[in-house]
């Protein structure tokens, strides 16, 4: 990752090249500051200082040292249990590559990951529990790359493995610290899946890097506000589905004085959710954007925005801004001919290069060639930018693969989702489906009993708001919207429901 333009930022190589987990662990392992307050179903079940945490890591190292060797890829299937935090620290300090996997995945998925990675060992709840561990003095400082291997969530089908080197992780931790203005005095909160790249970095690594306390709940706690108040939380990392749970809680709550802002990432946030949070609690939500291929946060709405700019970037455009590029990342919008777009408001594909961009997909040269070329990583996300306060704010309007091509015209499903949500239909989404007359058409999937409006009323309202070509032509009602564990809609899982309309001729 030395002089390849893909990994340069402002023409410079990363200052973190060659650094590993020891950069963090050497210092943190002797700190008596609080590291982790762990909650299960609203109750605090464990607290650990950094030193206590690393003592348990050393205890696990003793337990598994004869089962793994440097360079091994080890699957961790511990979900959001406290054991996951200990397993990650252990594997990094033993020089292994962590392969975090959602334990709820089926056996065929595990078999596929084992086949693909050649992993011979899986750390799950059958291997150890925190109560089994005998604390020891931490002394393992072995560094090895890649540090982690994340398999993408597979919203569009097959999963791809992304290897992450530790220098990239470090660059992104520092970038997050800078753009959000984070300090050792902060207290973080998270309840997101720690086996995904977002929480892996924010909940597990960032507190170690900053020596900051993390309050981690194994799931969304119904006592969310009580925990934030009791623990004097200053920054919480959330996703739009979690924000919707918080907004749905109608009890009287007050945000703690310590709270500075929420971070929202993993899927696009809607203006209605931002507004509700602001009106009720006066809390700012800073939307961020990132991918496994670029470690974590590539775009981030900075914490130093004036009220005026905060309003503008969230409410003026068709979607709220996903932020400005974080330190070490060169982010651009590229047209379909591979030319960088230099005008504001013109849509193209987001492309990224810099210190957090990875080298490619694990054992998948074809996918690597497709995404990593022309000196940039091609994200597959469609966006435009606008200048505010002399900074380039990006607005993500859709995914290249979540585009419907109707009679030769491109329609972005996320734009339709935004209109659907603005009508108060929070449990609905746009779906593209094959149609003999239009090539592809737009339909609407609606969760049963989620609204008092009938189908005709919904379609009428949509027709009054959207261009006729973009307007969903048919509504299919079902039980639930299939989503990944971080709330991304799996639209492919809904397409078949529209098969009966393949031969239907719709009128605009």
Partner 1 sequence: MNELKDKLILGVKEISRMEVRWDENLFGTAIDSMSLVKIVNLVDDLAREYKRSVDLDSLISEDTLSLQDIYQVLENGK
What span, in angstroms and rounded, lies between the C-alpha atoms of 333 and 129? 47
If we measure between CA atoms, which residue out of 80, 77, 86, 87 comes closest to residue 48? 86
Does 507 sit near partner 1 (CB under 8 A)? no
Does 226 sit near partner 1 (CB under 8 A)? yes
Does 452 sit near partner 1 (CB under 8 A)? no
By beta-carbon proximity to partner 1, the closer residue of 147 and 446 is 446
User: What mask of x and - would describe binding to partner 1 in positions 404 to 443, judged by CB under 8 A?
Assistant: ----------------------------------------
Residue 248 CB, shortest distance to partner 1, in Å, is 5
Determine contact, residues 105/152, Cβ cutoff 8 Å.
no
Burial of 105 by CB count in 10 Å (0-12 exposed, 13-18 middle, 19+ buried)?
middle
Does 482 sit near partner 1 (CB under 8 A)? no
Site for partner 1 in 298-327 (CB under 8 A): none
Strand ranges (DSSP E) for 161-279?
Answer: 161-164, 187-190, 213-217, 235-238, 261-264
By beta-carbon proximity to partner 1, the closer residue of 188 and 224 is 224
Spatial neighbors of 108 by CB under 8 A, at least 6 apart, are none
Task: Pick the binder of partner 1 from 15, 17, 22, 42 (CB under 8 A).
Answer: 42
Residue 457 CB, shortest distance to partner 1, in Å, is 22
Residue 249 CB, shortest distance to partner 1, in Å, is 5
| Binding region for partner 1 (CB under 8 A) out of 41-49, 96-104, 280-288, 385-393 | 41-49
Task: Pick the binder of partner 1 from 248, 257, 336, 452 (CB under 8 A).
Answer: 248
Strands 348-354 and 329-334: antiparallel
Does 142 sit near partner 1 (CB under 8 A)? no
3-state secondary structure 371-407: HEECCEEEEEEEEEEEEECCEEEEEEEEEHHHEEEEC
How big is the site for partner 1, counted in residues (CB under 8 A)? 15
What span, in angstroms and rounded, lies between the C-alpha atoms of 182 and 174? 10
Site for partner 1 in 261-300 (CB under 8 A): none
Burial of 171 by CB count in 10 Å (0-12 exposed, 13-18 middle, 19+ buried)?
buried
Token pair of 347 as six digits? 């849509």
By beta-carbon proximity to partner 1, the closer residue of 32 and 479 is 479
Does 251 sit near partner 1 (CB under 8 A)? yes
| Binding region for partner 1 (CB under 8 A) out of 11-19, 248-256, 322-330, 466-474 | 248-256
Does 477 sit near partner 1 (CB under 8 A)? no
Dihedral sign computed on CA atoms, order 448, 489, 421, 409: negative
What span, in angstroms and rounded, lies between the C-alpha atoms of 322 and 397? 10
Does 219 sit near partner 1 (CB under 8 A)? yes
Task: Pick the binder of partner 1 from 12, 132, 249, 344 (CB under 8 A).
Answer: 249
Does 449 sit near partner 1 (CB under 8 A)? yes
What span, in angstroms and rounded, lies between the C-alpha atoms of 152 and 475? 30
Does 254 sit near partner 1 (CB under 8 A)? no
Does 250 sit near partner 1 (CB under 8 A)? yes
By beta-carbon proximity to partner 1, the closer residue of 219 and 272 is 219
Does 104 sit near partner 1 (CB under 8 A)? no
Task: Pick the binder of partner 1 from 26, 27, 43, 369 (CB under 8 A).
Answer: 43
Burial of 160 by CB count in 10 Å (0-12 exposed, 13-18 middle, 19+ buried)?
buried
Does 115 sit near partner 1 (CB under 8 A)? no
Q: How many CB atoms lie within 10 A of CB 463?
A: 13
- Cα angle 64-65-71, degrees, rounded to a multiple of 5: 105
Q: What is the dihedral angle through the alpha carbons of 16, 20, 26, 31, rounded to the nearest 10 degrees?
A: 80
What span, in angstroms and rounded, lies between the C-alpha atoms of 295 and 200? 10
Residue 479 CB, shortest distance to partner 1, in Å, is 9
By beta-carbon proximity to partner 1, the closer residue of 245 and 283 is 245
| Binding region for partner 1 (CB under 8 A) out of 28-36, 247-255, 355-363, 403-411 | 247-255
If we measure between CA atoms, which residue out of 19, 332, 373, 333 comes closest to residue 171? 19
| Binding region for partner 1 (CB under 8 A) out of 76-84, 96-104, 244-252, 494-502 | 244-252
Contacts with partner 1, residue ranges (CB under 8 A): 41-43, 219-220, 222-223, 226, 244-245, 248-251, 449
């Amino acid at each position: 990752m030395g002089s390849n333009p893909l990994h340069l930022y402002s023409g410079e190589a990363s200052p973190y090249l060659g650094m590993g987990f020891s950069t963090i662990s050497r210092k943190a392992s002797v700190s008596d500051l609080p590291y982790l307050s762990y909650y299960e179903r609203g109750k605090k079940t464990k607290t650990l200082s950094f030193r206590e945490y690393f003592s348990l890591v050393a205890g696990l190292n003793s337990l598994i040292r004869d089962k793994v060797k440097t360079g091994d890829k080890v699957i961790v299937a511990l979900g959001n249990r406290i054991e996951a935090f200990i397993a990650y620290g252990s594997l990094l300090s033993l020089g292994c590559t962590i392969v975090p996997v959602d334990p709820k995945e089926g056996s065929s998925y595990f078999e596929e990951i084992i086949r693909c990675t050649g992993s011979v060992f899986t750390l799950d709840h059958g291997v150890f529990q925190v109560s089994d561990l005998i604390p020891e003095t931490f002394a393992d400082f072995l560094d090895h790359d890649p540090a982690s291997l994340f398999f993408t969530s597979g919203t569009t089908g097959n999963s791809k493995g992304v290897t992450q080197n530790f220098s990239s992780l470090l660059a992104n931790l520092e970038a997050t610290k800078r753009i959000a203005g984070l300090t050792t005095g902060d207290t973080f909160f998270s309840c997101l899946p720690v086996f995904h790249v977002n929480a892996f970095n924010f909940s597990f690594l960032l507190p170690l890097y900053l020596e900051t306390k993390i309050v981690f709940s194994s799931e969304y706690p119904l006592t969310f506000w009580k925990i934030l108040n009791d623990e004097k939380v200053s920054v919480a990392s959330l996703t739009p589905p979690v924000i919707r749970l918080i907004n749905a809680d109608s009890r009287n709550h007050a945000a703690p004085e310590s709270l500075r802002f929420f971070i929202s990432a993993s899927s696009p946030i809607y203006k209605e959710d931002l507004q509700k949070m602001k009106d009720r609690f006066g809390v700012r939500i800073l939307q961020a954007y990132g991918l496994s291929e670029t470690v974590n946060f590539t775009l981030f709405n900075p914490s130093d925005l004036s009220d005026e700019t905060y309003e503008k970037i969230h409410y003026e455009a068709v979607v709220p801004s996903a932020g400005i590029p974080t330190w070490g990342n060169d982010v651009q919008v590229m047209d379909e001919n591979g030319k960088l777009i230099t005008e504001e408001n013109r849509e193209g594909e987001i492309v990224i290069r810099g210190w957090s961009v990875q080298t490619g997909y694990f054992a998948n040269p074809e996918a690597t060639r497709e995404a990593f070329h022309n000196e940039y990583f091609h994200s597959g996300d469609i966006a435009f930018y606008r200048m505010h306060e002399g900074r380039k704010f990006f607005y993500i309007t859709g995914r290249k693969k979540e585009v419907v091509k109707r009679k030769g015209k491109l329609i972005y499903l996320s734009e339709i989702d935004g209109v659907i949500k603005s009508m108060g239909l929070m449990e609905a989404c746009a779906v593209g489906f094959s149609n003999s007359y239009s090539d592809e058409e737009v339909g609407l999937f609606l969760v049963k009993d989620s609204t008092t409006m009938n189908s005709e009323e919904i379609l009428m309202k949509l027709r009054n708001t959207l261009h006729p070509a973009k307007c969903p032509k048919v509504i299919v009602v079902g039980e639930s919207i299939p989503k990944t564990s971080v709330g991304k809609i799996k639209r492919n899982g809904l397409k078949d429901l529209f098969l009966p309309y393949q031969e239907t001729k719709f009128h605009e």
